[in-house]
């Protein structure tokens, strides 16, 4: 029973993601597979869970950029009398399309009924119904195959306009609204992901995923697999049961990210990674020197005076993988590594990579200390 309930939970989250994409981006509804994985990860879903359950909530067409919701899987779309909150539909927008199409059918006959998209939306805006809400209502009607939108012309499917207004169908339900936890949880995440398509930000909200995109411009695209495998292993490691793995992998991510930006930092000529140690081949670079180099350059530094001590704590914790160093530093035995230290290690890895991403984004206007 627990497995079945979990599958239902995953299906509800996936359905809500695709549903919310219509409200947020009605002219380009749906999500790419990568966007679904990103959204899923942010609500605690694993890629395998998503891959197994996605076919149960919608049809994934080969070659299609966006995966669309199955309108018959969204409860409030197929059963408007069941009231839920939050509800991101504007009921007045649905009624406006229905009324406008009905009036066109009365004037011209159902077979000749047609609407000019922009004209109808302009009329709706004059009644304080937003363009976004009108586009969302239209997108849902098109998904349900009640309307056809071709260029700027809206026509009914097979000349039929026989469907009631949404407001009338909702009145049948009455009573208290049910809370849709999945929809409430994913809406802000889907909104952020869709906005990233056009606002210049990286496609990923999480720094460890976003950094993989930067490896191309840094000249290390061949290391994307290494990076993603390391990040994946970190996420699969548990801070309670495998804290040493978490610490070691977190340190590997910090060391790797700093290693990949050494050349860019040195090329700037602002003091970053200025030590002669970095004249040596990369296999001789030490994580301590990488942290020192990233903290140099004053106003152009990657790590500030608050960040560096936290990273140095991570380095000391990581040294337990060196038996000789443990014998030297802890002759009476190494203290236990607690789960909270592992959680801090993960946080430090996120912090360092986010600092690097911010630094890379600001390279066009480096600060010069005068």
Contact 91, 166 (CB under 8 A): yes
pLDDT at 202: 64
- pLDDT winner (highest mean) among 24-28, 148-152, 211-215, 365-369: 24-28
Average pLDDT over residues 329-347: 84
**Band (366; pLDDT cuts 50, 70, 90):** very low
Whether the pLDDT of residue 364 is over 80: the answer is: no
pLDDT at 323: 78
88-172 in CATH: which number? 1.10.10
Of the ranges 27-36, 89-98, 116-125, 320-329, which one carries the lowest mean pLDDT score? 320-329
Q: pTM for this structure?
A: 0.66
What is the per-residue pLDDT for 167? 93
Cis peptide bond N-terminal to 86, omega within 30: yes
d(CA 194, CA 114): 31
Residue 203: pLDDT band with limits 50, 70, 90:
low
Give residue-wise pLDDT tens across range 300-334: 899 988 889 999 999 888 887 777 777 877 788 77
Rounded to an integer, the average pLDDT of 277-282 is 93
Q: How far is CA 366 from CA 189, 242, 271, 284, 293, in A?
A: 32, 41, 12, 29, 17
Name residues whose C-beta falls within 8 Å of residue 274's C-beta, 6 or more positions apart in sequence: 266, 293, 296, 297
* Mean pLDDT confidence for 184-200: 89
What is the arrangement of strands in the sheet containing 153-156, beginning at the earlier edge strand? 115-116, 153-156, 147-150
Q: Kindly report the CA angle at 277 between 360 and 223, in degrees rounded to 5?
A: 45
Per domain, the residue ranges of the chain are: 2-79+180-191, 88-172, 206-361
Q: Give φ, ψ of 196 to 5 degrees.
A: -70, -15
**Residue 128 clears pLDDT 90, i.e. is over it:** yes
Position 369 scores a pLDDT of 44
- Average pLDDT of the residues in 340-369: 80
pLDDT at position 340 over 70:
yes
Contacts of 326 (CB under 8 A, 6+ apart): 319, 320, 334
Q: Which two structure tokens, joined as six digits, stand for 171?
A: 């009145």
**DSSP at 152:** T
DSSP run (H or E) holding 184: helix 181-195
**If you average pLDDT over each of 197-201, 221-225, 331-335, 363-367, which comes out highest?**
221-225
**pLDDT value at residue 280:** 93
Look-up of token digits 């206007």: 365
Q: What pLDDT was estimated at residue 72?
A: 95
How much is the mean pLDDT over the chain?
89
pLDDT at position 370: 38
Which residue has tokens 């005068």? 370
Measured between alpha carbons, how far is 334 from 320 in angstroms, rounded to an integer?
A: 8
CA distances from 263 to 255, 260, 292 (A): 14, 7, 15
DSSP 214-281: HHHHHT-GGGHHHHHHHHHHHHHS-TTT-HHHHHHHHHHHHHHHHHHTHHHHHHHTSSTT-SGGGGS-
Residue 104, C-beta contacts closer than 8 angstroms, at least 6 positions apart: 113, 114, 115
- E runs forming strands in 57-209: 84-85, 115-116, 147-150, 153-156, 178-179
89, pLDDT greater than 50: yes
More confident residue, 232 or 330: 232
Phi and psi based region of residue 200 (left: phi greater than 0; alpha: psi -120 to 50; beta: remaining)? left
pLDDT for the residue numbered 346: 92
């Amino acid at each position: 029973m627990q497995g079945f309930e979990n599958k239902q939970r995953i299906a509800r989250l996936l359905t809500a993601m695709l549903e919310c994409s219509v409200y947020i981006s009605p002219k380009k509804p749906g999500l790419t597979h990568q966007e679904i994985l990103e959204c899923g990860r942010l609500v605690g879903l694993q890629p395998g869970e998503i891959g197994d359950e996605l076919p149960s909530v919608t049809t994934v067409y080969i070659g299609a950029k966006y995966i669309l919701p199955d309108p018959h899987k969204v409860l409030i779309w197929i059963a408007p009398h069941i009231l839920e909150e939050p509800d991101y539909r504007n009921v007045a927008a649905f009624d406006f399309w229905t009324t406008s199409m009905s009036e066109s059918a009365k004037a011209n006959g159902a077979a000749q009924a047609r609407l000019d998209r922009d004209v109808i939306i302009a009329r709706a805006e004059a009644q304080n119904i937003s363009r976004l809400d009108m586009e969302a209502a239209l997108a849902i009607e098109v998904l349900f195959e009640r309307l056809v939108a071709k260029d700027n012309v809206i026509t009914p499917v097979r000349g039929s306009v026989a469907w009631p207004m949404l407001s009338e169908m909702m009145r049948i339900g009455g009573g208290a609204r049910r809370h849709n936890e999945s929809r409430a949880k994913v809406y802000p995440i889907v909104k952020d992901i869709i906005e990233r398509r056009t606002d210049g930000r990286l496609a990923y909200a999480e720094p460890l995923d976003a950094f993989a995109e930067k490896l191309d411009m840094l000249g290390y695209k061949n290391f994307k697999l290494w990076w993603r495998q390391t990040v994946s292993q970190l996420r699969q490691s548990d801070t309670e049961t495998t804290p040493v793995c978490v610490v070691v992998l977190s340190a590997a991510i910090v060391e790797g990210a700093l290693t990949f930006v050494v050349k860019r930092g040195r090329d700037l000529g602002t003091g970053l990674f200025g030590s002669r140690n970095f004249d040596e081949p990369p296999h001789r670079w030490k994580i301590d020197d990488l942290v020192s180099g990233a903290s140099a350059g004053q106003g152009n530094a990657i790590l500030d005076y608050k960040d560096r001590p936290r990273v140095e704590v991570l380095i000391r914790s990581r040294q337990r993988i060196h038996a000789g160093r443990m014998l030297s530093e802890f002759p009476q035995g190494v203290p236990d590594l607690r789960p909270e230290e592992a959680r801090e290690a993960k946080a430090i890895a996120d912090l360092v990579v986010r600092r690097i991403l911010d630094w890379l984004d600001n390279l066009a206007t480096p600060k010069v200390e005068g």
